[in-house]
Structure 1
Amino acid sequence: MKFITFLRNDAEHLGVLTADEKEFVDLSEAGIAPRMIDMIKGFDFLREPIARLIANGSRHSTSGLKLLAPIRTPSRNIFCIGKNYYEHATEFGSSGFDSGSVGGNEVPEYPIIFSKPPSAVVGPHAGIASALDPYSSVDYEAELAVIIGRSGRVAAADDPMSFIFGYTIINDVTSRELQKRHKQWLLGKGIDTFAPMGPCIVTADEIADIGAQTIQLWVNGELRQSASIGQLIFDIPTLIRTIGSSITLQTGDIIATGTPAGVGIGYKPPRYLVPGDRIRIEVPAIGILENNVL
């Protein structure tokens, strides 16, 4: 199933797309669940009623629909992973903007974990406020995001994949100069509007092999990033176990899994985003996330 959060009559609504994605059922209208996080928490009991609504409920056209971020306001910071594709680790290590770099081939031994605050999240077609970076060093990072479906710590005997509800797309927008100056990543990556997310959440059972999916990013129609998600240095089970072995995961937590090579800082000279730029990210099984730079 593909779930969306959208705006109707100035109120946040929850919907589920039909198979052709041209129509949707308004779950909030049907009294199923008012918000995405409520639906995820109760999904084991709601799956069958939702399936019946898709088959028999009132449908609405997706034409002109104003999508919001699937989880509009996360309950806590987004967990993010740094340098998790080999070629990106190399390009970033060579850029001079990595506070921990001692050379050009900086492949981490263990996952690098940082976070972005909920206030950074915006939805599809929302603007990225580049003026909030005073150094005009705004960069893009296409990332697959994992949505956690159940709470708890990950024990040694647990299958980390059993904690996943579904997947979405995140653009880990970054002020490279702030990232460099402060010797850590929160300020450079946590700026308001610097976490576009969407267009939907796809339940994990809809994607047989997430590693076989590609992730691609275009700036103004020019392909900048393209990789298989299977090329992650630390795969999704490793990331979930690394975080969840010591931090209790909560339903609705979001883990952004890292970005492939081709970011703006990797070019010489860097190719940063400027007002008027349009960024498009696609993961075929999830959809397309587009945003403009303001």
Structure 2
Amino acid sequence: MGDVLVRLVTLRPFSQAAAVVEVDGVDRVVALGSIESVSDVMADATVRSGAEATVRRTLEGGASALPALTEVELDVPVRPSKLICLGYNYRGHAPDGVDPTTNDPEYPDVFVKTANTINAPGDPVVIPEVAEDVDYEGEIAIVIGRRAHRVSLEHALEHIGGYTILNDVSDRAWQRRQSQWAMGKCFDGFAPLGPWVVTADEIDDPQDLLVEVIRDGEVTVSQSTATTIFSAAFIVHYLSQTMTLEVGDVISTGTPQKLPRWQDAHRPLAPGDAVTVRVQGIGELTTTFTSHGGTA
């Protein structure tokens, strides 16, 4: 069966940790018994071993009775104490008015999204009545699996428990109102996260993954993490110098620039739009957008 804990999810309504396993071409869900959270599986080798045993026993007992992934409702895979984000981490993606061909910055551009932004993978994002220019940013998110405080660059990857996907939804008009971005980044629900955490051992090289975004059937972003300025290892190392990264904390690693055609023809998100972030080796996160009141 190989590693049965590649994709870890959290089920609603009781925040039950579970694993997603493919059986005869169908993704099925195995609840992990008394294990309280995905973070516990990542952080504790004994817990992970017990979870693996639970999945194997369940599969041996008959996988056809397991619920399909499409039949369950997912919560966010982890509830981070900190949601940290990077801006302008892909070459070619630069702030307004800055030449994208200039030298790389010495340090990452770091900001935070508040807890109210976190959105489950199947939940729509409500476009606020006051929003003027809502946009999407498809990103790979690091999930901390081992407490990190002032870790060296050499050992930083050892503190990553897995990877997931985040859509850093932003209102550009509110973002540009001030030098700090919080007002444009922190509307309720502006951080869809998931659908699962892929364990770190499944990603051979986080600097060799293709990130794509599809908006209403059109690929608008396509760029490899090989073009990032700051690697996953450096990001964990750098952030841990000032703050202790706890298990389950999430670091979103920045978005590539839109492809030229879509950058030149920018169109704010509107009710009824759908955005899929697709990352090689991790999966897909699809978010739909609705109006205030929940109608498309």
Shorter-chain TM-score bucket reads 0.7 to 0.9
Aligned to 2:119: 122
1:5 equivalent among 10, 13, 16: 10
User: 1: CA distance between counterparts of 2:71 and 2:219?
Assistant: 27
User: 2: CA distance between counterparts of 1:51 and 1:217?
Assistant: 33
User: 2: CA distance between counterparts of 1:12 and 1:288?
Assistant: 21
3-state SS of paired residue (1:93): coil
User: 2: CA distance between counterparts of 1:176 and 1:194?
Assistant: 13
User: 1: CA distance between counterparts of 2:223 and 2:80?
Assistant: 27
From the superposition, tell whether residues 190 and 67 of structure 1 become closer, same or farther in structure 2 (CA, over 3 Å).
same
3-state SS of paired residue (2:71): coil
3-state SS of paired residue (1:48): helix
Could you tell me which amino acid in structure 2 is paired with residue 34 of structure 1?
E
Aligned to 1:52: 53
User: 2: CA distance between counterparts of 1:165 and 1:181?
Assistant: 36
Aligned to 1:97: none
1:53-94 Cα distance to aligned partner (Å, 9 max, x none) = 2211263322322112111x3223x110010011112xx434
Aligned to 1:18: 21
Q: State the shift of 1:136 in Å.
A: 2.0
Could you tell me which amino acid in structure 1 is paired with residue 54 of structure 2?
L
User: 2: CA distance between counterparts of 1:154 and 1:70?
Assistant: 26
Give unmatched runs, 5+ long, in structure 1.
Answer: 95-100
CA contact (8 A) 2:153 2:233 kept: no
Q: How does 1:82-231 map to 2 (within 5 A)?
A: 82-89=87-94, 92-94=95-97, 101=98, 107-131=104-128, 134-156=130-152, 158-231=154-227
User: 1: CA distance between counterparts of 2:260 and 2:41?
Assistant: 37
CA RMSD for the aligned pairs? 2.2
Q: State the shift of 1:152 in Å.
A: 3.2
User: 2: CA distance between counterparts of 1:128 and 1:273?
Assistant: 11
1:123-170 Cα distance to aligned partner (Å, 9 max, x none) = 2221111125x2420010000000011113133475110110000000
TM-score by length of 1: 0.87
Could you tell me which amino acid in structure 1 is paired with residue 47 of structure 2?
L
TM-score by length of 2: 0.86
CA contact (8 A) 1:264 1:272 kept: no
Aligned to 2:3: none
Aligned residues: 276
CA contact (8 A) 1:22 1:62 kept: yes
Aligned to 2:288: 292
Q: State the shift of 1:196 in Å.
A: 0.4
